[in-house]
A and B are shown apart, each in its own frame.
Chain A
Amino acid sequence: MNKQPLEITINGESCSLAVDSNRTLLELLREDLDLTGTKEGCGEGVCGGCTVLMDGKPVRSCLTLAVEASGTHITTVEGLAQNGEIDPLQQSFIDHGAVQCGFCTSGMLMAAKGLALNNPHAGKIEIINAMSGHICRCTGYTKIIEAVEAVVDRSKEKR
């Protein structure tokens, strides 16, 4: 298969790569770049575990071809921390006990980050809607929603 050139920015670092045209963004991240924080739970866009941000919007990397991400900025869970400080959402997930087995956590965090970036005034219903494309088998979601709410509320306070 012919390799396609791919210019892409991942977690703030610009990369010049060559990928197979059928390579998914998920494969690129996990297998080629060792960014294994992004998980594959179903491979068909249902579980949400592979969610990353493409130019600030959540996408399912298992359903996105790597070449589709050409010229975009991709953020994975590994890119959430800034200058050695974890993101407030990450801290909130820890503090609220929103993490059990942790397999869905990175997808959940990226969905929450996408929401926080695009709708910083999100209310509880919007939070629940934003998180409802993600399957968690452990928590029953209560603490995940609480964790996201706490951060969105805090950003409201700042305004």
Chain B
Amino acid sequence: MPNYAFVGNSMPRVDSRAKVTGEALFTADIKLPKMLVGRILRSPHPHARIVNVDISEALRVPGVKAIVTGQDVLQRKWGVFSYTQDQQFLPSDKVRFIGEEVAAVAAVDEDSAQRAIDCIRVDYEILEAVFDPMESLSPTAPLLHDNFPQNINVHVPINVGDVEKGFTESYYVREDTFTASEDSYFQGEPYAVAARFDMDNNLEIWMPNAGPHMKAKPLSNALGIPLNKIRVRKITIGGAFGGRSEIAPADLICALLARKSGRPVKIVYTREENSIATRQGHALITTIKTGVREDGRVIARDVTCYMDGGAYSSTGPIAVSVPFLCMEQAYKMEHVRYNGYRIYTNKPPRGMIRIHGRAFACGVDTQLDMIGEYLGIDPVTMRLVNAREPGEFTNTKSHVASCAMKETITKAAEKSGWNDKWGKLPPLHGIGIGCNSVQTGFPMGIRGGSQAIIKLNEDGGATVISGVVDNGQGNDNMLVQIAAEELGIRTEDVQLVTADTEVTPSDPGAYSQVSTFIGGHAVKNAAENVRRQLFEAASKILNVKVDDLIARDRMIYVKDSPDTSIPLKKVVRMILAQGKSVSGQGDYWPKVDPKREWVKNPFGQMCGAFSFGTTVAEVEVDPETGKVTVLEVTAAQDVGFALNPLVLEGQFQGSIAMGGQGGILTEGHVWDGGSVLNPTQLEYKVPLACDMPKINTIIIESNDPEGPYGSKESGMSIAMSAAQAYAAAVSNAIGVYMTDFPLTPDKILEALQNKVEGETPNQDEGVMEKGLELMVPAV
């Protein structure tokens, strides 16, 4: 193991001081001269034709400076792929969900803006709406988009091997259906946008984002102005969790209001708006048929997944594939078939979220436990038998270079005392295990790589220019650690210019787990480039070979001769004095198969590396209330290499809170038709400090050959394995395999009651459940 100065060591984050003093500015904190307040009029109807929007009265409200409607936008539709372009921000034809943007006002203050909103008259022709994805598939259902028959947004078909043959050869086959309601991000910071145009028609815009360059290009398209006039600025960001990576309607609306009024405009969402009008996670109906050998090894698996996509594509088409990918990475299968359908309904759009497909992920693991019970094999062995191993290929032909899945299983089991607990716990006390794998990115076309620029100043300090954005996970610190390490300077010597599309080169963004692997890698390469320039100059001064030099703590040393050295800044000054700059760029492009495509060609190298994780949860259930108390959770993850263990622990703990504690026990949206009944934190229960169990974190390093310093990912796979472990632990505690998530007390009580009464459960409409004596109804 190399002797690193910064990477691999726990260090407090460089951004934390500004955050604890309140100096860190978030978008809602921005105040610009002459700034107006923007507000959005939203549709009260789930599906209606917009017949007329009358703004004449609203324009007469004192203090109103601009109003925009569907007439003010270019009639262009946005979508992540050419075949999913379905959303015109500020629609002019019809509204498709309650809360969709219809018009917006900019006024001198909030009261005036709201008064004007109340004065806008919209004539709607109400259309029949559909809220259930299975009903939406029916030929008689109303169509949301004319060019998407049967309301099917995307169908992802994957077929590897011969699943039918695999089932024939299996010792045991079973089929189960798992369901989950929609979940939401509930980022700490409600969405907000501030925008202004300068005298040269350049747009400056601030918003919480998970990829400034991913925001800039669609904004350029939607506004019809060149990309170099779109300046998405860096700002402190209050969380993303898979959201905020794509253009939001409010981005365009705020820019249009700023352009029309000639003044800066800021829109700050309420918590309710953040829930209904940004994005949500998909609701799922997932049927999994699995055939195994007598030893528990999976031979064939056939998964059909219906995802409630809401009214528009957004980033949802990618989310159709991700749960499948996580499964095929984590577990081996000889034959596999997948049919993923994303279906439009008159509900808010859904997209990528940290816990990709609760029903899918928890379904796969719950069914492994069901199979294990039939075969007399315990859950840990079931997972070890099926766990991915290094050097293998996934079913869709991705090579897995580094993989410590088995080690995560054994270490998590050992730390949690699995062998002493499995099958030996008292009634209503259970333990469960879940395994998952996450990809570091995917083929992203032109935005698949990152570039970075570094310049050294005459005092030896560095400026790092990179498109990587930090939305809370610590990316800024990651860049500083890497730059300081490679340049041999201190972390306080590094200044960042990041996430600003005016100056930073392209970068994929901080989603799909690519920031370290791709963006960090680019900074590492840029720093190596600059260091080479320093070493070339220093080698001449010190009369040694370039390869004999090392840079550490602001000095350049001769290896094995630490007394021979020169201050780094002296070398910089000498190069500058020769009329040369000390700067350089670096880039990184992951070794992916560019021909891989989500629908047409879902085969080939998916990404540079895969991370693997296991969580074990131990719970107790109160039979009177159905309340679950979580006693202890152990998470082990193969992160490749731990760049900053302090930050990693925080990711593990936060993942357990979001994926397990919230994701499985409490979180889910409740609906009345197209209305969300729990859009705020008062009704949608995210975990609190008092809910959290004791957490053990185990960092496992497989040292990926391609990752920077061997590192991979740490932000998502524990969130998913925690969800799976929590689900398994509750099922184990109550002796009933739970299949509808989240596992709220009402469902647990009903399951316990059904178990006592031995009743055959009712079947939920649209859900096929076969041969499950222990199955409880999907509520």
Measured CB to CB, the residues of A under 8 A from B are: 30, 34-44, 46-47, 49, 76-78, 80-81, 86, 90-91, 93-95, 97, 99-106, 109, 128-129, 131-145
Q: Is A99 within 8 A of B189, CB to CB?
A: no
Complex CA–CA separation, A103 to B473 (angstroms): 12
Q: Is B26 within 8 A of A103, CB to CB?
A: yes
Least CB separation from B690: chain A residue: A132
Nearest 8 CB-CB pairs, A to B?
A37-B22, A101-B472, A102-B19, A140-B653, A103-B238, A103-B188, A140-B657, A36-B29
At the interface, yes or no: B270 with Cβ under 8 Å from chain A? yes
Complex CA–CA separation, A133 to B241 (angstroms): 22
| Neighbouring A residues of B13 by C-beta, 8 Å | 94, 97, 99
Q: Is B21 within 8 A of A97, CB to CB?
A: no
Which of A46, A95, A133, A138 is the most central at the interface, judged by chain B CB atoms within 10 Å of its CB? A138
Which of B19, B236, B650, B695 is the most central at the interface, judged by chain A CB atoms within 10 Å of its CB? B19
Q: Is A140 within 8 A of B188, CB to CB?
A: no
At the interface, yes or no: B710 with Cβ under 8 Å from chain A? no
Instruction: From B19, B22, B692, give the contact of A142 (CB < 8 A).
Output: B692
Cβ proximity bits B600-631 to A, threshold 8 Å, 1 near / 0 not:
00000000000000000000000000000000
At the interface, yes or no: B12 with Cβ under 8 Å from chain A? yes
At the interface, yes or no: B199 with Cβ under 8 Å from chain A? no
Complex CA–CA separation, A41 to B187 (angstroms): 9
Least CB separation from B185: chain A residue: A137
A134-B689, A140-B656, A144-B689 in contact; A102/B21 too (CB < 8 A)?
Answer: no
Q: Is B189 within 8 A of A97, CB to CB?
A: no
Instruction: From B23, B268, B271, B471, give the contact of A101 (CB < 8 A).
Output: B471
| Neighbouring A residues of B682 by C-beta, 8 Å | 42, 44, 46
Least CB separation from B683: chain A residue: A46
Least CB separation from A147: chain B residue: B20
At the interface, yes or no: B28 with Cβ under 8 Å from chain A? yes
Distance in angstroms from A87 CB to nearest chain B CB is 8
Instruction: From A37, A40, A99, A145, give the contact of B689 (CB < 8 A).
Output: A145
Least CB separation from A35: chain B residue: B22
Least CB separation from B472: chain A residue: A101
At the interface, yes or no: B435 with Cβ under 8 Å from chain A? no
Q: Is A138 within 8 A of B646, CB to CB?
A: no
Q: Is B689 within 8 A of A141, CB to CB?
A: yes
13 further contact pairs, Cβ within 8 A, besides A36-B28, A39-B188: A41-B681, A42-B190, A43-B271, A44-B271, A46-B682, A99-B15, A102-B472, A137-B686, A140-B654, A140-B692, A142-B650, A142-B692, A142-B695
Cβ proximity bits B1-29 to A, threshold 8 Å, 1 near / 0 not:
00000000010110111111111111011
Q: Is B22 within 8 A of A137, CB to CB?
A: no
| Neighbouring A residues of B649 by C-beta, 8 Å | 97, 142-143
Question: Please, could you name 25 A-B residue pairs with CB atoms under 8 Å apart, sorted by A?
Answer: A39-B188, A42-B682, A44-B682, A49-B188, A76-B22, A78-B21, A93-B20, A94-B12, A99-B16, A100-B473, A102-B19, A102-B24, A103-B238, A103-B472, A128-B690, A132-B690, A134-B688, A137-B186, A137-B654, A138-B239, A139-B654, A140-B661, A142-B649, A143-B653, A144-B689
Q: Is A37 within 8 A of B690, CB to CB?
A: no
Distance in angstroms from B484 CB to nearest chain A CB is 18
Q: Is B189 within 8 A of A103, CB to CB?
A: yes
Q: Is A40 within 8 A of B16, CB to CB?
A: no
Complex CA–CA separation, A93 to B21 (angstroms): 11
Q: Is B20 within 8 A of A132, CB to CB?
A: no
**Is chain A's binding surface mostly helix, strand, loop or mixed?**
loop
Q: Is B239 within 8 A of A141, CB to CB?
A: no
Complex CA–CA separation, A99 to B188 (angstroms): 12
Distance in angstroms from A67 CB to nearest chain B CB is 18
Distance in angstroms from A15 CB to nearest chain B CB is 18
Q: Is A95 within 8 A of B654, CB to CB?
A: no
At the interface, yes or no: B751 with Cβ under 8 Å from chain A? no
| Neighbouring B residues of A42 by C-beta, 8 Å | 190, 271, 680-682
| Neighbouring A residues of B472 by C-beta, 8 Å | 100-103, 138
Least CB separation from B652: chain A residue: A140
Q: Is A100 within 8 A of B656, CB to CB?
A: no
At the interface, yes or no: B647 with Cβ under 8 Å from chain A? yes
Instruction: From A34, A41, A95, give the contact of B271 (CB < 8 A).
Output: A41
Which of A38, A94, A140 is the most central at the interface, judged by chain B CB atoms within 10 Å of its CB? A140
Q: Is B692 within 8 A of A141, CB to CB?
A: yes
Instruction: From B237, B238, B655, give the contact of A140 (CB < 8 A).
Output: B655
Q: Is A46 within 8 A of B681, CB to CB?
A: yes
At the interface, yes or no: B658 with Cβ under 8 Å from chain A? yes
Q: Is A106 within 8 A of B22, CB to CB?
A: yes
Q: Is B658 within 8 A of A137, CB to CB?
A: yes
Distance in angstroms from A94 CB to nearest chain B CB is 4
Residues facing A in B268-293 (CB within 8 A) are: 268, 270-271
A99-B13, A100-B650 in contact; A137/B239 too (CB < 8 A)?
Answer: yes
Which of B270, B271, B647 is the most central at the interface, judged by chain A CB atoms within 10 Å of its CB? B271
At the interface, yes or no: B545 with Cβ under 8 Å from chain A? no
At the interface, yes or no: B777 with Cβ under 8 Å from chain A? no
Distance in angstroms from B652 CB to nearest chain A CB is 8
Instruction: From A138, A141, A144, A145, give the contact of B188 (CB < 8 A).
Output: A138
Instruction: From B12, B29, B686, B690, give the contact of A97 (CB < 8 A).
Output: B12
Q: Is A86 within 8 A of B473, CB to CB?
A: no
A77-B22, A103-B26 in contact; A132/B239 too (CB < 8 A)?
Answer: no
Distance in angstroms from A148 CB to nearest chain B CB is 10
Q: Is B646 within 8 A of A36, CB to CB?
A: no
Complex CA–CA separation, A35 to B185 (angstroms): 27
A46-B682, A132-B690 in contact; A140/B20 too (CB < 8 A)?
Answer: no
A44-B682, A94-B17, A109-B20 in contact; A101/B238 too (CB < 8 A)?
Answer: yes
Complex CA–CA separation, A30 to B417 (angstroms): 50
At the interface, yes or no: B44 with Cβ under 8 Å from chain A? no
Cβ proximity bits B260-272 to A, threshold 8 Å, 1 near / 0 not:
0000000010110
